[in-house]
Structure 1
Amino acid sequence: MQDPQQHPASAARSSLRQQARRLAMAAGAGLLAAGATAAHAQSSVTFYGIVDSALQVGKFDRNISPTPMAASGNLQASRFGFRGAEDLGGGNSANFQLETGFNTDTGAGGGNTLFNRGASVGLSSRSYGSVDAGFLYLPIYWVFLSSDVSTYGLANPAAIMSLEHSSTLGSSGTGGFYPNAVRYRTPVLFGGLTSEIGYSFGAENNEGLNDAGRNAGANVQYTRDRFTVGYGYNRYRYFAAGSPTVSSAQITQVLSGSYKIGDNAVGANYVHSTRSDATGWFASAFMVNAKIPFGQGDIELGAARRIQNGDAHAMAYDIGYVYFLSKRTQLYTYATTIRNNSRSTQGFALLNSSYATVSPGFNPWAITAGLRTSF
């Protein structure tokens, strides 16, 4: 009998079987690799951050000489964080975010908590919106932010921060994070309409003051082509001095809008805040600002006016320039001042925390220049 290995037909069949095995192995390896790639694509974690350092000089109160100093985060607060998402299929995903601030001038952390700039976990759906829980901004903040059209928004020397941030309007919700919070955001509706509701359980005090720090709010925003309009509401609960058993509330409302004209942009807002305790406290403010591309950067302009009970009036003005060395790295400079009437004591809380208030009628000023880079 002839050796089948030597028979031409048998040899051909053997060769075909070997080729088939090699193709199957290659296909299997390809499927494994594709599966590994798909599995990797379903989950991602991003490490990101901003490093911002500046020099500033300012006269922060009447009896203080102009003071030069190092500063951190005068264009954007220095920070780093982790952001992650997992694709759950069907347009659904799980997400988380952890972010903390730090000071470049001292190397110290930016707060008393590890993730002082937010910590949250949530679920998102293209069809039904998203739910997040943790240490969060409340809905009114996003309306407040959308009115600032500057390069990055809410720079520390800017007029909008000087007179309208939570450091000057108390617990208004326009700035800062709130603990034990949960929020729901709708998907985009009707070609540009979105809404959000949020609630913070506050400090969850167990000594009978359960209302302390509780916060509830909502917003509605509409974006179409070159303009955005929005409304935000916030209700903060607290116990005033002399009222240990009956809680009071600070009610804040914001109406804002922005518009792009070519590469230029202008934004404005109106903020109104009142408290229900016996002090009769209230404050209102309006702001207008603009961004004008010029050369290899942006000119920033802003003006704001604040009125408070007791006939206290203040105006804030800023002018700045952000110069792009690259997409991630910028040089910047700002000049800013606050003009207080004889009853107003508003200082630059975010440039020098020691002088959040000033002598009545004093007009503080500051100039800053710095470098910002991101990763």
Structure 2
Amino acid sequence: MKKVAIAAALFAVAASAQAQSSVTLYGRIDNGLEYESGLPSGHRFAAESGDWGESWFGLEGSEDLGGGSRAIFQLEAGLNTQTGAYNNGSLFGRHATVGLANDNWGTLKLGNLGAGELSQDSWDIDPQVMQKYAIATLVRGRNWAQAGNGFEYTTPTLAGLVIKGQYDLGNSSSWNLGNSGPGQLGNAPGSGLPGSTQGRSDGLKVQYTTSGLELLAMYDEIRDGNGEFDNVYLNSRSIMAGGTATFGPVKVYVGYQHLSAPDASDVGVYGTAGVPSALPDGVSLPTAVDHEWLGAAWQAMPATLVTAAVYHANANNGNGNATMATLAGTYNLSKRTFIYTEFGYLHNSATSNIGLGNGYSDPYGANINNDPVTGNAASTAPNYGHSQTGVFAGIMTAF
């Protein structure tokens, strides 16, 4: 009888612990087809993963600590579901955090913030919700920034107002320097050249939401491994402000972003001194970009959403301007599955060569057609002054 009582007590404790804790497996898969023209080599038709949004899977959980507090964690991996490979540089490159949450005191997270870097919150004021042809396109992927080695605090919502702050350490003996290895342009940390590993980054977001209205302001900065703002599209300061207003079935979006990289230099981007640059006359690495957009989403039917938007960016130091027009739609097949499509047309001025590749396949610089010495043979960026057109369609399902 005594053994039965002990077993019952242990079972009750286990059941209580189970009730106070939870772990959720979640994810989504996005695959589709894409056609783009205006590439240096002509046009292409391809199968793509993640044109509407990156595929991923993850685990998140919480444990009730009492007094309204919870321990929380999240592990999330990005996937290329055309090849089975993982994205974002590592298995849990999107998120690997642990922290504490309390409805009255807010939420603290520590670890790899990954795709939670503050600039990615810009999807809130993007009419195309950060699809491939959207708010990150004309700034060559700057709004897709990621950050590790960090911590984040988010306040509770107070009268519609929420504030979020982030700080990401370089984990170096020098305050702003990166930790190890070459960066996106292959230059080592401490070399004094652009594109070395990411250094310290930080940011602050203020968001206010009320009935039918949302306002957002963000500041974030990402330094290179040398502690500098060396490339306006990679390591720079970003100031963003915008909002949405809802009128019945229509939601209107407007926004502005300014990027600044005062330490930008052609050195290390176009080779050593004496190697001719393929840039048009009078053009050098930009140190500032102004980016504006306007759009609207129309809930045409309960299952059908249509969005249209125009984005425009001006880069200094002779880099000209680019304008992109987009039209997209989604149709819900169920609560978890929808089909989608988007059309994008990007027009460049004479000294601009921004492409539809979001900065991944078309980073700043000349392509091989312009410069066989320092150009990027794999670049999908158009020639200077040329346009690009793209359309994609696919299916997304979540679990």
Q: Give yes or no for TM over 0.5.
A: yes
**Structure 1 residue aligned with 2:270:** none
Q: CA deviation at 1:300?
A: 1.6
- Residues 1-375 of structure 1 aligned to structure 2 (within 5 Å): 36-61=14-39, 63-136=40-113, 137-142=116-121, 144-150=122-128, 153-157=129-133, 159-164=134-139, 167-169=140-142, 174-189=143-158, 191-202=159-170, 204-206=171-173, 210=177, 213-238=199-224, 247-248=228-229, 250-277=236-263, 279=265, 281-295=287-301, 296-309=303-316, 310-350=318-358, 353=361, 354-355=378-379, 357-375=381-399
In the superposition, the TM-score normalised over structure 1's length comes to: 0.81
Aligned length: 332
> When the two structures are superposed, what TM-score results if normalisation uses the length of structure 2?
0.77
Moved more, 133-142 or 297-306: 133-142
- Specify whether residues 356 and 217 from structure 1 end up closer, same or farther in structure 2 by C-alpha distance, changes over 3 A only: farther
Q: State the distance in 1 between where 2:310 and 2:98 align.
A: 37
Contact 2:141 2:360 in 1 (8 A): no
- 1:76 positional shift: 1.2
1:74–1:351 Cα contact (<8 Å) kept: no
The match for 2:282 is none
Gaps of 5+ in 1: 1-20
- TM-aligned CA deviation for residue 207 of structure 1: 7.6
Which structure has the larger Rg over C-alpha atoms?
1
Structure 1 residues 65 and 278 mapped into 2: Cα distance closer, same or farther (>3 Å)?
closer
2:200–2:222 contact (8 Å) kept in structure 1: yes
Could you say what secondary structure the match of 1:161 adopts?
coil
CA contact (8 A) 1:60 1:364 kept: yes
User: Cα deviations across residues 36-83 of structure 1 (Å, max 9, x unaligned)?
Assistant: 44321211111111100001111142x423211100011111111111
Q: What is the DSSP-based 3-state SS (H/G/I as helix, E as strand, rest coil) of the residue aligned with 2:35?
A: strand
Structure number having the greater helix percentage? 1
In structure 2, stretches of 5+ residues that fail to align are 179-197, 231-235, 266-285, 362-377
Whether the aligned pair in 1 keeps the contact of 2:138 and 2:358 (CA below 8 Å) is no
Q: Distance in 1 between matches of 2:79 and 2:355?
A: 23
In 1, Cα distance between the equivalents of 2:45 and 2:51? 14
User: Cα distance 1:356–1:273, how it changes in 2: closer, same or farther (>3 A)?
Assistant: farther
Q: In 2, Cα distance between the equivalents of 1:60 and 1:37?
A: 61
